[in-house]
Amino acid sequence: MAATKGKIVIISSPSGGGKTSICRKLLTSSQKRKGWQFSVSYTTRRPRPNERNKREYHFVRDSDFERLEKINYFAESARVHIYRYGTPRGPIDRVIKGGGVMILDVDVQGAKSIREAYPDAIAIFIAPPSLAELKRRLKGRGTETAAQRRMRFMTALKELKQFRKYDFDYLVINKDLATAVSQVKAIIESDSCRIEKIGKEQMKKITG
Q: Site for ligand 5GP (CB under 6 A): which residue of 7, 36, 87, 138?
A: 87
107 binds ligand 5GP (CB under 6 A): yes
Angle at which helices 131-141 and 146-162 cross, to 10°: 150
8 binds ligand 5GP (CB under 6 A): no
Range list of β-strands (E), the chain? 7-12, 36-38, 41-43, 57-59, 74-80, 83-88, 101-105, 122-127, 170-173
Q: Site for ligand 5GP (CB under 6 A): which residue of 8, 26, 60, 78?
A: 78
Nearer to ligand 5GP, 87 or 183 (CB): 87
Segment interacting with ligand 5GP, rule: CB under 6 A, options 58-66, 105-113, 136-144, 189-197 = 105-113
Residue number of the CB atom closest to ligand 5GP: 110
Segment interacting with ligand 5GP, rule: CB under 6 A, options 72-80, 91-99, 140-148, 193-201 = 72-80
Coil vs helix vs strand at 104: strand
Q: Which 31-60 positions form the footprint of ligand 5GP (CB under 6 A)?
A: 41, 45
Question: How many residues belong to the site for ligand 5GP (CB under 6 A)?
Answer: 14
User: Percent helix, strand and coil across the chain, each rounded to 5?
Assistant: 50, 20, 30
Angle at which helices 177-191 and 19-26 cross, to 10°: 60
